[in-house]
Every structure is written in structure tokens, then in C-alpha cells.
Amino acid sequence: MSAPDASPLRLGIAGLGTVGIGVVKIVQRHAEMLEARTGRKVVITAVSARDRTKNRDADLSSYAWEVDPVALATREDVDVFVELMGGHEGAAKDATMAALKAGKDVVTANKALLAHHGQALAELAEGAGRVIRFEAAVAGGIPVIKALTEGLAGNAIRRVMGVMNGTCNYILTRMETAGLPYETVFEEARQLGYLEADPQLDVGGIDAGHKLSILAAIAFGTKVSFEHVVLEGIGCISIDDIRRAADMGYKIKLLGVAQMTGRGLEQRMMPCLVPAASPLGQLQGGTNMVVIEGDSVGQIVLRGAGAGEGPTASAVMGDVLDIARGTRLPTFGQPAARLADPIPAAVSAPAPYYLRLQLLDKPGALAKVAAALGDAGVSISRMRQYGHADTTAPVLIVTHKTTRDAIDVAIAALPATGVVEGQPVALRIEEV
Amino acid sequence: MSAPDASPLRLGIAGLGTVGIGVVKIVQRHAEMLEARTGRKVVITAVSARDRTKNRDADLSSYAWEVDPVALATREDVDVFVELMGGHEGAAKDATMAALKAGKDVVTANKALLAHHGQALAELAEGAGRVIRFEAAVAGGIPVIKALTEGLAGNAIRRVMGVMNGTCNYILTRMETAGLPYETVFEEARQLGYLEADPQLDVGGIDAGHKLSILAAIAFGTKVSFEHVVLEGIGCISIDDIRRAADMGYKIKLLGVAQMTGRGLEQRMMPCLVPAASPLGQLQGGTNMVVIEGDSVGQIVLRGAGAGEGPTASAVMGDVLDIARGTRLPTFGQPAARLADPIPAAVSAPAPYYLRLQLLDKPGALAKVAAALGDAGVSISRMRQYGHADTTAPVLIVTHKTTRDAIDVAIAALPATGVVEGQPVALRIEEV
């Protein structure tokens, strides 16, 4: 073992929001513990944020202050640039690239940056002989990047799944427990400050999609390809769907799934039904969960807080301490030049589907629906018609395993039956 | 970044049981993938096992064969000694020490070895500038050693808990689902080959206790001290306890808990009640679960297969690949010389307790029991008396938070009431 580096590891932190201050607190509170665990002092030399005058919950007086994050990133007395500004263009990107070019290692919590520029950053880091680490970018405090890249590196990964947007899971859970419609809970979440400034990042699945694309790159040795993630948000989910799914033994989750099949790489971030008794089905509120399936290990489930000061700062510090200890890996677990261009799967793997439709109260109506499904090659596993006071009755169908194409053909054929009102809802049932 | 080592990493594997053959299969099946992920070929040069003639499910013809594991461990053409023999004395210990002294890194799945000789091995490894890695020793395929040592290294750990013996969890789950008594399910497990040759290793909590002592050392920076683990097996658990606990919303698990309190280090491996709705409560069959609580990250839950060829081999390979990639950490996450002598807590942290007793059908009987508990300072949270055809009635009590000492005083006072028959059962309710 070559003599480990015993000089202090000097951090420059750009971005002093919740997570940045969380990192400052850990470095200050646990100086002795961090030194015991790495053999080096871990110190902060400089920080940067937009507003210097803002009152922050930490003493920053001993750190140099840089107005310009690029200047921070390239300071002589900074070894590791800790990027906690967010955003995939502008200052975060510029400063990260400047840091790597200046020979600094980078630790970031920025999922958007990695999702959009992961390959370029990986190439830049490797060319400069530096590392870029991003445990905090995916599933907050859960050490999932480490598990996938290192602990499970002996496995051919079959599938990675995750509930990775706490706000969406909060909304879906709250709709169920309080019996409130989507719009009401959405508004609650906004008022509680749970939503991003652009709520589509959350409820449209974009934020979770960024995370999925990062996991997929590591799992399957492909270049990050967020542009190939099939995104569907949770806005289409009604309280009825949640209740009916529960009747059939399922929960609805905004579930990300990445898998490599003979048809290519699938990346989906969409509302799915999962068995209520499964670990994913049991996940409540803002907690995150990632499920990794490997050919040797089988299924590994990781669960923890997906956001917040402490958990995210914990993940940032995990990366910092690895760097302090001299652990150096390629960005996505193998050299950037070896990462393959992913071939996105044109069709998704077959699955059972959940269909909800409003049936007109006419003789033979159910038979007509069943026939339309049959004609499309969709076979019915379970069907429930609910009582009604109205001229239409809600009907739920769980199909046998079929393709999304067949489901779409069946749905397109339903209006012609003359017995279905409105737009049917079709949700994939992911076998977990 | 210094130029990484690109020479092949050469493994010598001692022990060709299920796990050893699992490792051979991964190395053979995934040669290309392993090279992509580490930048080096990973090869097996030599193997060793007791019986060369045994028919094994892998082609070993290209590997040198050593009868003596010490000879294998010290071969010129071995870089990493992979110890999969088991047992904490004899060949496993001798060969591991010989390997370290000969300048080899070691990867082992041997929890007993680490539990009994962890400190000595850590000192030996560090003195020789070598590493000893043991992900496979705890919770099979779950990368928990890595999560605790690396990913969560920025946290002061508050508590580590785990269900880490699949056989015990299988027995308890099966008792509940099939309604069978302990003795019957124990016999089933024996016939299914789930039990160690000495079943006390499983049902007495020794195997799980070994694992807990390893986790505690990493979590709290103390020397491994298996001798201080308070061990209670599952033999005292009746089908009645399982049913009554379920009535009150709990499951019974053989749960390991390590925590550092003002009173010192607590290490307990004993049957506990946990809420049925918690991740630990929902764990069925042979699956393992480890819960880590850190001051920043909050609660992280890791779940997966705790044993078996694939999962355990996956963990072994995670360690091998870290070594191939040049990752080098102290054995328990900090230098052996820094690990403190643990001060075992004389008393365990207060908790609610579950009490089951048989009450004689006499007027005022319940009042006498309540008074005895009160005199011992034990306050009752919930009590249920069940109907009975007999002269005695089962009574269940859930106490408020109290100490084990107070519970023991209360139990000792019960015979004098003259209304309690037989020996009461007292189980800790762990707040998870």
C-alpha cells in the first residue's frame, strides 16, 4: 500500500442552500471523526453563493468568499470543488468544467447536470486525471451509486427500479390517506414548499427521470441518455385510480424502471401499479427506494430519505471522504470511452396492465369491451364492475401480460363500441 | 491520478463449497465485464478444498490445486487470498494470517473469524500493508459493510439493527404462516438443510451475533467484541407469542441491535417485537435486512438475500473488484490502533416490553399482577386477557418504556402473587 496522502483535504463549496449548509455543519461538527476515518483533516477553505448577506445557520467567517463560482472552483487552495448550486447550464456547468480543467476533483448533487452532460463531464474528468462524484444526485442519503458501482460490480444488472421523487410519492400517498383529489394535494404540496419552482420537474417525472438516466448508465455501461427516458407524470392519476388499485391489491407509484433487453435499453419513469405488499408498495410519503436486480445477487432493496439537509449532505460527505481516502473510480464505473451508445428499446417489455373505463349502462356493454380487447390481443385476467348511481359504471380490468402497443390498439378501438364514455386510463403493472 | 495497475489480479480460492463455486462462476462468466469495470483482468490461478474428487458444478481444470490452504495462500502467483472455508480456528485462521504475512490481500466470508480475531487480523493486515475485506461475512449479498464504512462515513452512527440470520427468520415466519410449533419447524429446517451442523449457531443467535459484532466495530470505531454481545436464541418463542404479538400489531424477529449510549456500547442479539408495519416487521422468510441510523442521514434500510451461492459470491466479488480498482481502506474503517476498547453497557437502553403470563382464574388476580408490576416501577400501556376454557387465562401486557432490570424485578415478584402459573415470557419491543 503506497503511503496515503496525509495533507488536509481542502473543499470549496459553491451553493449555500440547505445542502451546502448541511455539509458545512458536518465538516465543523465531526472534524475529529472525519480525520479518524480518512487519516486526513477535511477542511473548507472557500465558499460561494449568490447572496452573501443572507442569514445562514452556520458560521462561515473563517472561509474565503468568492462571488464567482468559477473563481472558487479554480482556487489554488481548493482540492475538491463541491457543486451544490443546481441547474444544468450556466454557473453550475461552467464552474464544474473549470474545476476539472484546473485539476480539482468534483463532488456534486446535481442530477440535471449529470443527466444532460454526464458523458462530456466523464470524458473531461478522465482526461484531466480527476474524479467527479455524485452520490447525492440520486435518492438523497441512500448510498445507491456506491452500491451499484462498487458493491454489486460483480453482477450483470438486470433491472434497476426506483421511487426517487419524494414529492410525487408524498402526493400519491396523501391522496390515498386523506381521500383528496390530485389538484388539492398538489396545491398543499406547493404551499408546503415541497415543489420545485417549475413543478413539472417533480410531478412531470423530470427530476426522477434525471436520476434514472444516471443509474441506467452505471447499471448497463451506456452513455447517460436522459433524452431516451420515457416520461409520464402523475397528473393523470385520480383518487379513483388509487382506490380501485388498492381494491385489487396494488399501490400506484411514480416508478422509474431501467432494464436492458434484447430490444435495447428501456428507461421509463411513469406511474405504475406495484403489489401493495411489496417493499415498493409499502413506501409511504417522501421516502425514496431503489431496487437493484443482479444476476448473482438477486434483488437488493435500498430505502431512505431522498432529500433534505442531513441526508443529502451525508451523501456529499460520503463522496468527499472517498476522495480523502484515495478511492478513485471512473465516473460511471468504467472508462468513459468504454460506455456504449445506448440503443433505446422501441417497445417496452410486456407487462400486465390496469385499465379503468366508464361503461355505459347498456345490455351487452361489458361483452363489447371484452371483445375489443380480445381483438387487440389483450387477454383479461381480472375484471370488476362497480355499482353506480349514474348512467355509467366504473369498470376495472387487469390484463394478462401484454404489450403497450396492444393496449393502445385496444383503447383506440373502444370508442367504436359505443359503450365507453370518456378516456380510459391505462397503467402498467410492474412486476416487482 | 497515478497510473492504475493494469496487470491481471490473481485470485487463490480456498474452499469450494457453494460460495467458492459461485465465485468461480462469476469470474468465468463475466471475465469481460469485470475487466471493463476494473481495467484489469481478474483471474483465478489456484484453488484448494478438502476433497479434490468431489463433483463440482464448475470447470476447475485450468487452476492449480493445493491440498494445503496455507500453501495456496502464500503462492507466488496469488495476489488475493479468497478464504471461503469457514471456522474461526484452524485452517481458515492459519491461511488468512499466512496470506497477510506473505503480502497478499485477503477477501473472506468468514464472520466467525472476524468476530473472534478481527482486531488481530486488522493489525496484521495494516502492519503488512495489506487489506482484509469481508462484505460477504455480513448479510450475504447486501453491500452493508460498504454502506457503513464508506457511503455513510460522514455520519456519527446512532444505531445499527438487523435481521441477519435467514434460518431464524424462516423459522419464525413459518411458525406464523403455518401455525406450527417451534420444534416442528426447527425439524423441518434441519431436514431442508437450512441449519448449521451445530444448530445453536443459527437458533442460538451466535452466527447473527458474529455479524452484529462486526457491524458494531465499524459503526462505533471500537474493537470487535463478540464476547460482549448479549445473546438470546429463538427457542423460547412459542406460536402463542407470535399470535399474541400479531394481535397487538407486532412481529417477533431475532433482531440484532448495536448502539452507543452514555452507558457504553450495547450489543444485543435477541428475539424482539417490532411493529408489523415497519420494514423489519414486514420481512418474510430467509431475507436479511439491516437498518443503519446516522445523525445526518436518518434511517437507511438495506434488504436482500442473506445467504446462498449467488448473493454471497456477489459480495465476495465486490471486495475483489475494489481491490482490483485500487481501493484500500483500513479493515474496520479506521486504523486498527485507533479502534477503542469498547465499554459494554451494563444495562440496556429503556424500551417497552411485551409480557406474556398465565393467570390463574381467581378474583383480583389481574390486580395483583398490576400491583407487582407497579411495585417494580413498571407501568402498563396495554393489557389483554384472553378467553379460556382452562383454569388459567393467557394475559398479555405491553409496558411503557422501562428497563430490563425493572422487568426482571417484576417477574421475580410474580410467583409471590400466587396467581401466575409457569414462567412468564418477556420480550423487548424495539422501537424501529
Q: What is the pLDDT of residue A4?
A: 66
Mean pLDDT score across all residues of chain B? 95
The whole-angstrom separation of Cα B221 and Cα B149 is 10
The predicted model gives A387-407 an average pLDDT of 91
How far is B309 from chain A, CA to nearest CA, in Å? Answer: 8
Residues of B labelled as active-site residues = 211
d(CA A130, CA A123): 10
Q: Is A431 marked within a binding site?
A: no
- Contact status of B409 with chain A (Cβ, < 8 Å): no
pLDDT of residue A362: 87
* Structure confidence by residue, pLDDT tens digits, A300-342: 999 999 999 999 999 999 999 999 999 999 999 999 999 999 9
Helix H or strand E encompassing B112: helix B111-127
What is the dotted CATH code of the domain comprising A353-429? Answer: 3.30.70.260
**Regarding beta strands A353-360 and A392-399, do their DSSP bridges make them parallel or antiparallel, or are they unpaired?**
antiparallel
Q: Which of residues 198-227 of A touch B (CB under 8 A)?
A: 221
- Predicted pLDDT at A389: 74
A residues 12-41 near B, CB within 8 Å? 22, 26, 30, 33-34, 36-39
The predicted structure's pLDDT at residue B362: 87
In this predicted structure, the answer to whether residue A1 has a pLDDT above a threshold of 60 is no
CB pairs under 8 A between A and B: 190
Tell me if A1 and B151 make a contact (CB, 8 A cut-off): no
How close B79 gets to chain A, by Cα (Å)?
Answer: 13
Contact assignment for A297 to B156 by CB distance below 8 Å = no
Q: Is the pLDDT of residue B4 over 70?
A: no
- Whether A245 and A266 have beta carbons less than 8 Å apart is answered as no
Taking CA atoms, A60 is separated from A40, A44, A55, A319, in Å, by: 21, 9, 11, 22
Tell me the C-alpha distance between B24 and B15, whole Å.
Answer: 11
Matching residue, cell 481516502? A325
pLDDT at B222 exceeding the cut of 60: yes
Residue A430, all three cell numbers: 410492474
Fold agreement between A144-305 and A353-429: no
- Report the residue of chain B nearest A318, measured CA to CA: B151
Question: Chain A partners of B153 at a C-beta cutoff of 8 Å?
Answer: 34, 37-38, 317-318, 321
Residue A224 CA neighbour count, 13 Å, CB half: 25
Q: What is the pLDDT of residue A250?
A: 97
Q: Which three cell numbers stand for residue A26?
A: 458536518
pLDDT band for position B1 (cuts 50, 70, 90): very low
Across residues A261-273, what is the average pLDDT? 95
DSSP alpha helix (H) spans, A81-162: 91-101, 111-127, 144-146
Give the whole-angstrom CA distance, residue A153 versus residue B320.
10
Chain B residues with CB-CB distance to A40 below 8 A: none
B143 and A300 within 8 Å at the Cβ level: the answer is: yes
Lowest-pLDDT choice from A13-17, B1-5, B99-103: B1-5
CA dihedral (A127, A133, A137, A139) in degrees, to 10, reads 140
- Break chain A into its structural domains and give their ranges: 9-137, 144-305, 353-429
Are B313 and A154 an interchain contact pair (Cβ–Cβ within 8 Å)?
A: yes
Answer yes or no: A211 catalytic: yes
Side chain identity, residue A277: A
Nearest Cβ partner for A26 among B131, B154, B325: B154
Centre a 10 Å sphere on the Cβ of residue A352 and count the other Cβ atoms it contains.
Answer: 17
Given B147, B298, B328, which is nearest A310 (Cβ)?
Answer: B298
Share of chain A above pLDDT 90, in %: 90
Contacts of B19 in chain A (CB under 8 A): none
Average pLDDT, stretch A139-155?
98
Name the helix (H) or strand (E) containing A178. Answer: helix A166-178
Q: What is the pTM of this model?
A: 0.96
User: Given this model, what pLDDT does residue B3 score?
Assistant: 58
A2 pLDDT exceeds 90? no
Whether A274 shows a pLDDT value over 50: the answer reads: yes
| Mean pLDDT for the stretch of residues A16-32 | 97
| pLDDT at residue B346, rounded to an integer | 85
For CA atoms A228, A234, A238, A243, the dihedral sign is: positive
Half-sphere exposure of A161 toward its Cβ, with a 13 Å CA cutoff? 23
Does the domain at A144-305 match CATH 3.30.360.10? Answer given as yes
For residue B111, say whether it is annotated as part of any ligand binding site: yes
- Rounded Cα distance, B420 and A262, in Å: 67
Query: Which fold is adopted by the domain A9-137?
Result: Rossmann fold (3.40.50)
